[in-house]
Structure 1
Amino acid sequence: MEYTVTPHHKFHFNHGDVAIHSAPDSEGKATAYRVNKAVLALNSTVFADMFTLPDADGLHEMDDGVPVVVVTDSEEELSALMQALYEPHTLFSCRFDPETPIRLTPVMKLANKYEMDTIRERAVEAVCRDWPETFEQWARINAEIHSLIDRTPEAAAAVRFARDFNIPSILPAAYYALAHSDRNWHWDSRNVFGNQWRYVRYTRWELLDAIDYKVVLCLRSMLVGKLSNVVSQYTGETNSIPVGPLTVCPSTHSESHATCATGLAEILQRWKENELDLGSMLAEAEGPNPLGLLDQLHRMHTTAEMCGGCKTRLGRHITMYQIALWEQVVLMTETFQEEVQ
């Protein structure tokens, strides 16, 4: 097939000693990358082996005095790979960027193909650092993105990236985000409605397959029950506000017992009135978020009129509850992964 070759506008160096030609596009146009053998060989065992073949230059056609390697990869894929090799800071340094899994997908594809382990590790790290593996990491990241909601990582792209390239560690957090995302808010509509919707989590739902939807629906069903448990536990629906050791103040001053009991009841009532919109949380479109709900209570409990001991125990109780919920999310996700493998 006849095709034309155009030098890449950035990655075509005069000092390059090898030319990589992309596969031609639908219009018969290919892109040439004149780069350095040393850079390719340092990062890729495939290219390193290729360049050490006897008379390797004689195996390829020549272009302006340098050997040409014609590959089957697209211009988009090769440009992303060259950017990873020559300008890695532009690809791997952004936090909370919803485009990160999309941008790094062609990099991962070629890093796997050409055995570029370091590039692959950096791409995996760039995606994984936005998706926590433990509750403690979730709590830290959730606090960071609370003020950066416009830069919230996009969960569907992360799921697709993780499943396509076998990176299961980020799936629990990504699936959890999908389980409490509104299915009516599609990624392409994120700029349509104006600033009043800026706190909505937009999602690329079309990237999910049947297995992903099954995980999301099952996880959502479980979280609905957990949300009801959270509400019952902390608002007196089970006639204990709340249950367990929190009902007894540890203070040696008897007058503080009544104060702490009143303070606890008041903070829980305020939490229920201000933060608990069960009609919205349990609506069909928007999924439950018990971790986030508990996080709101954790933020509020420090303002309660209680002694230091009661505040500390309430904070610990909330955190332990969150950790237990997180572990159940991880377990359910891992169970589904085992079933599809």
Structure 2
Amino acid sequence: MGTLATLKEVPIFERHPTLYLDDGDVVLQAPISSPGQGEKQKFQLFCIQKALLIAHSVVFANLFADASANLGSRCDSRPLISMPDEVFDLSHLLLYLTDPSQYLLRSSHPDTALELYGAAKLADKYMMNTVRSAMVKRVAMDWPTTRDEWDARQTGIQNLRSKAVLDRPRPGKRPRKLILALRTPEPVSAIMFA
């Protein structure tokens, strides 16, 4: 019976589908969920390049410099670092570091502020000042700062809405209502981000 109890306590590790890189040299582990009674703890694993973290963060630079002799736990023969952060926020921070075009090349996306809100907080926590500033600028890009910019934006949205109202099924293409939703930033998330 003691064996069964210990098997239930063995956590589940899931590799992130896009952020577990073959050329990574450090594994970050973040909790996906807190275990309920009788449930196993789940962790998301991210395998990325140490140099990327060191280049952007004094905190990580010091961590790796201080722990270069022995980082303790290992995963896939790489050092394993347990992160206390929310997995959603950590994944978007790492995605921003590894592929910022995911955010920079999509204008007025409704989820940008939601995705970068926690990531920006983590960038601040890990002293990634340049990264945090870039995230703030990216979210601000979706929102006009002058009356003329606001009017131009509203005109563009009205044009999309009028096309959406006249929408007819188009084989192999997205409905225009969906296109409108994907090109209109969500104001509540932007307010929370601010």
Work out whether the TM-score is over 0.5: yes
Partners in 1 of 2:157 and 2:141 — Cα distance?
A: 13
Alpha-carbon distance, 1:87 to partner:
1.6
Which structure carries more relative contact order (alpha carbon 8 Å, separation 6+)?
2
Matched, 1:156 2:168: no
- Asked if 2 retains the 8 angstrom alpha-carbon contact of 1:22 and 1:73, the reply is yes
Partner amino acid for 1:5? F
Residues 89 and 119, structure 2, Cα contact 8 Å, conserved in 1: yes
**Post-superposition CA distance 1:111-134 (Å, at most 9, x none):** 111111222122111211122222
Instruction: From 6, 13, 17, give the equivalent of 2:25.
Output: 17
Specify the SS of the correspondent of 2:80.
Answer: strand
Q: TM-score, structure 2 length as denominator?
A: 0.74
SS in 2 for 1:22: strand
Matches within 5 A, 1:122-271: 122-149=134-161, 150=180, 151-162=183-194
Moved over 6 A (4+): none
- Can you give the 5+ residue segments of structure 2 that lack an aligned partner in the other structure? 1-8, 36-40, 162-179
Q: By how many angstroms is 1:57 displaced?
A: 4.5
Shift of residue 30, structure 1, vs aligned partner: 0.2
Structure 1's 157 and 64: CA in aligned 2 closer, same or farther, altered over 3 A?
A: closer
1:280-338 per-position Cα deviation (integer Å, ceiling 9, x unaligned): xxxxxxxxxxxxxxxxxxxxxxxxxxxxxxxxxxxxxxxxxxxxxxxxxxxxxxxxxxx
After the TM superposition, which residues 65-104 of structure 1 pair with which residues of structure 2 at under 5 Å, given as runs?
Answer: 65-104=77-116
* CA–CA distance in structure 2, aligned partners of residues 47 and 141 of structure 1: 40
Give the corresponding residue for 2:61. Answer: 48
2-side partners of 1:98 and 1:107: how far apart?
16
Q: Which residue of 1 aligns with 2:177?
A: none
- Paired with 2:72 and 2:190, the residues of 1 have a C-alpha distance of 39
Question: Using the alignment, how far apart are the partners of 1:63 and 1:124 within structure 2?
Answer: 34
AA of the residue aligned to 2:47 = R
Tell me, in whole angstroms, the C-alpha distance in 1 between the residues paired with 2:144 and 2:32.
Answer: 40
The answer on 1:31 being equivalent to 2:44 is yes
Distance across 1 between alignment mates of 2:113 and 2:34: 25
Instruction: Return 31-40 or 61-70, whichever deviates more.
Output: 61-70
- Structure 1 or 2: more helix by fraction: 1
Identical-residue share of aligned pairs (%): 31
RMSD of equivalent CA atoms:
2.0
Distance 2:102 2:24 in 1: 21
